[in-house]
Chains A and B, each alone.
Chain A
Amino acid sequence: MNLEVLVFYLFASITVAAAVMVISARNPVHSVLFLILAFFNAAGLFLLCGAEFLAMILVIVYVGAVAVLFLFVVMMLDINFAELRQGFLQYLPIGGLIGVILLVELALVLGSWTILPSAGGVAAAQTPAIGDITNTDALGRILYTHYLLPFQLAGMILLVAMVGAIVLTLRARPGVRRQSISAQNARTKELAAELKKVSSGQGV
C-alpha cells in the first residue's frame, strides 16, 4: 500500500463522513461548514487524479462563492431547521428502505462493471497525455472546439439565470432615494449654490 492509496482513502472517507454530517448536524451553520469540508476533500481527490484545474475551480467557486453564500443566507434568514426536519423520522423507515434497495442495486451494477467490448474504439474526445499539456490548456482546447455548442448554450443558461434572478427579485421600491450620478454630474455651481449679499450687522 503506497502513500497515494492511503491519501485517497483519507480524502474519500472524510468526504463521506462530512457529507453525513451535513444532513445530520443540528446547527445549520455547522452543516455549511461540513459542506465546505467535503468540498475541500473532493478537491483533494481531484488533485490525486491529476486534475489540478478542477480542484482549484472547486475550491474557488464552491468554497469561495457558493458555500460562503450559503453561510450568509443561513445566518441571515432565521430558519428553524428543527421544525423543517420534523417529518424526518416519520419517513425514515420507508425512505431508508428505498435507499437501501437502490444502494444494493447500484452495488450490483458496479459489480458487473464492464465497458462494452464494442466501446473500446470510441472515445468521446481525444485527450492529450498529461504532461504534454497543462490541464487548463487541454480543457480550453476541447471546450472551444469539440464542445463549442454546449459551451455557448451554457452561456445562454447563465443569461437565463441572470434574467430570472432580476425578474424575480428586482423591484422599484417607492420612497427609496437612489443616487443619480448623471444628475450629480450635471449640477453646476449656479444650481448648487446661491450667493446672497448680506448687509453686515443685520443678520440673515
Chain B
Amino acid sequence: MVAALVLMPLLGALAAGFFGRLLGDRGAQIVTSGLLVASAVLSWIVFFDVALGHQAAYKVQLATWMSSGALQVDWALRVDALTAVMLVVVNTVSALVHIYSVGYMAEDPHVPRFQAYLSLFTFAMLMLVTADNLVQTFFGWEGVGLASYLLIGFWYKKPSANAAAIKAFVVNRVGDFGFAIGIFAIFFVFGSVSYDTIFAAAPAVAGKTFNFLGYDLDIMTTICLLLFIGCCGKSAQLGLHTWLPDAMEGPTPVSALIHAATMVTAGVFLVARCSPLFELAPVALQVVTVVGASTAFFAATVGLVQTDIKRVIAYSTCSQLGYMFFAAGVGAYEASIFHLFTHAFFKALLFLGAGSVIHAMHHEQDMRHMGGLWRHIKFTYAVMWIGSLALAGIPLFAGYFSKDTILEVAYAAHSGPGTYAFWLGSAAAAMTAFYSWRLLFMTFHGKARWAGHGHDDHGHAHTPHESPLTMTVPLALLALGAALAGMIFYDNFVGNLREVFWAGSIHVAAGNHVLEEAHHVPEWAKLLPLVLSLGGILVAFWFYILRPRLPVALAETNPLLYRFLLNKWYFDELYDFIFVRPAFALGRLFWKGGDGRVIDGLGPDGVSARVLDLARRAARLQTGYVYHYAFAMLIGVAALVTWYVYRIGVTS
C-alpha cells in the first residue's frame, strides 16, 4: 500500500510528462489529480493505522540501490508516526493543489507539463519523507529541489522567472552541500547511512571529539550543524532565505504546495527525523533555536512593508518556519511538527486564496492596485479571513494551538536561546497579525484601485470574478483544516496522548521535559501572544481602514527604516556584493582568461593556429621550381650522409 502510495504520483508524472500530448490537457489533469487523490486517501488510511491506530512502525523494502563495500543503500519505505503525519500533509495539500490547478491554469498552454511537474514533485517529496536512510532522503531532497526549480521557472519565457529558478537552485546548492557533507560525516563516523543503525550507535559517539586543523570539535555537534545547513537552505532560514520570496515567480499553486506547505518544511522534518542525533548535540540545538527565532523575527519585519500579495505570504512562511525551528531547537520536536501540520493547511489556504484573488484580478499581484474586492469575491474573502485568523493564532483556529504551544515551550526552556526565541517570537506574532490584516484590508477593503489595471488582455470583462468550482472546493476543504486541525489533533500531537501517538518516532532525551513544562508556564506568558496578535490587528485596522494616510506618513518620516525593511534588510544586495559579483568576476576571469586565453589559447585554438602556420610553411616549401626540389633532395642526402659519417666516426 505504501509503495503504491509513493509510486502513484510518479506514474502520474510520467504519464502526463511523456504522453501529455496524447492525453490532452483534460486527460493529464484527470490522470494526475486522480492518482494524487487516491494517494491522499491511502495516506489518510496509513495515518489512521499507524499514528492514530497505534499500529507498530514498519518498513517496506523495495530494492537494493547500491552495495559497495560498507556502503549499503536500499530503496526502502519507513512508515512511522512522523512519516504518517508528513504523508497526510504532503498528499492532502498536493491533491488539493492538483485539483485547484485545473481551474487556475485553465488558460495556460502547457497544462500537461505543469501537472507532470506537480506530480513529480509530490513523488520526490514522498520519497523524502518515507526514506529509510540518508541517501534516499537526499534523493528526495534533490528531487524536490529539481521540481521546485522546474516549477519556479515554469513560465520560462519570463526572464525574472528564470532568474528566480536559478537563484532557488543555487542557494539550495549551498545548503545541500552542507547536507551532503553531513551525510559523508555520518557514514564516516557510523559506517552506515541507515537511520536505524545510526540512531542506535549515536549515544556511543556523544561527547566524542575529533581534531580538525588543530581544533577539537564535537562530532555530534558538527554532524548536526552540517545537517542543519542543509535544512537552512531548503527551509529558507536566515542567511539562505533569499530564494524563497523570489520563488513566488512560479504559478501560485506551486507557491502553495512547494513554498508553503511541503518542500520548505522538509528541513523541519529532517531535524525531527534526526532528533536522536540532535538531542545529543546541545550546542547545535542552541544554534537552531537562535537561527529559527531570528528568522521568525526578520521575516515578519520584512512582511510589514511588502506590497506584492504573494510576497507578504512568502515572508510569513519564512517567519513561521522560524517558529518551527526554534521549537525544535528547544527540544519540542512534536510542537514543531504540529505547527508544520497546521501551518500546511492555513498557509496553503492563504496562498490558494491569494491565487484566487490574483485569478480574479487577471494576474495582478500588487495590493496597491486592489481594494474593495470583498463585494466581488465573497467566498475568497471568507476563506482568507479564516486563514488569517489561523495564522495570527486567534483562539480556536489551528494556528492558535500550535503557535502558542511553541511560544510556551520557548519560555519553558528557561535557557538563554529559549528566552531570546520567546521574545522575538512574540514580537513576530504581533507583526504577523498586523501584516495579515494589512493584506486583508488592502486587498478587500477600501476604495477599488483596480480600475484600468486589468492586465493580460485575454478577453473577459475586466471586473473581478469569483473562481470556478475546481478552485473553491479545495479552498473550502483547506479552510476546514485551518479552522479545525489544531483543535482536533492538539492532544495527539503535543497534548497528553503525544507519547502513544509518536510512539518513539521522535526521540526525546530522558531529561527533556520541555513540553510538560510548557503546560505550566505563567498565565501572562500564555496570554501575551494573543494580546500582541490582537494589538497587531487593531493597529492594522487603524492604519488601513481608519487612517489610510498614516502608513505613508510613517514611511516618509522614517525613510531609513522603511527602506531597510522594503529592501529586506539588504540581504540580496549584500549577497550580490559578497558572492554573486565576485563569483561572476571569478567566472569571467576563468572563462575569458583561464579557459579562453590559457586553455583554449594553449590548447585547441593555439594548437590549431600553430598547425595552420605549419601548414602554410609546409605548403610554401612547394615553390614549383625544379631546382628547389632537386636541392631539397640533395640536402636530404647530405644530411643523412653527414649523420652517418658522424655516428660511425663517433663509435669507431
Contacts and interface: CB of A to CB of B under 8 A. Distances in A.
Direct touching of A and B (C-beta under 8 Å):
yes
A94 B638 CA distance: 12
Interface stretch (A30-38, A68-76, A97-105, A167-175): A97-105
B645 A108 contact: yes
A189 to B, nearest CB: 61
A95 interface: yes
B638 A101 contact: yes
A91 B642 CA distance: 21
A87 B635 contact: no
Interface of A: 87, 91, 94-95, 98, 101-102, 105, 108
A110 to B, nearest CB: 12
A102 B638 CA distance: 6
A7 to B, nearest CB: 34
Contacts of A87: 627
Interface in B499-552: none
A100 to B, nearest CB: 10
Going nearest first, the 6 A-B pairs with the smallest beta carbon separation are A98-B638, A105-B645, A105-B641, A102-B638, A101-B638, A98-B634
Contacts of B631: 91, 94-95, 98
A91 B634 CA distance: 13
Secondary structure call for the A interface: helix
A142 B197 CA distance: 102
Nearest to A88: B627
B635 A98 contact: yes
Contacts of B638: 98, 101-102, 105
Interface of B: 627, 631, 634-635, 637-638, 641-642, 645
20 contacts: A87-B627, A91-B627, A91-B631, A94-B631, A95-B631, A98-B631, A98-B634, A98-B635, A98-B638, A101-B638, A101-B642, A102-B634, A102-B637, A102-B638, A102-B641, A105-B638, A105-B641, A105-B642, A105-B645, A108-B645
Contacts of B635: 98
B427 to A, nearest CB: 95
A95 B634 CA distance: 9
B481 to A, nearest CB: 98
B402 to A, nearest CB: 98
Contacts of B634: 98, 102
A94 B632 CA distance: 11
Given A95-B631, A98-B634, A98-B638, 17 more contacts: A87-B627, A91-B627, A91-B631, A94-B631, A98-B631, A98-B635, A101-B638, A101-B642, A102-B634, A102-B637, A102-B638, A102-B641, A105-B638, A105-B641, A105-B642, A105-B645, A108-B645
B126 to A, nearest CB: 84
B159 to A, nearest CB: 67
A167 to B, nearest CB: 22
Contacts of B641: 102, 105
A95 B638 CA distance: 11
A84 to B, nearest CB: 10
A105 B627 CA distance: 23
Residue of A91, A94, A101 with most partner-chain B CB within 10 A: A101
A79 B34 CA distance: 101
A87 B627 CA distance: 10
Contacts of A105: 638, 641-642, 645
B640 to A, nearest CB: 10
Contacts of B637: 102
Contacts of A91: 627, 631
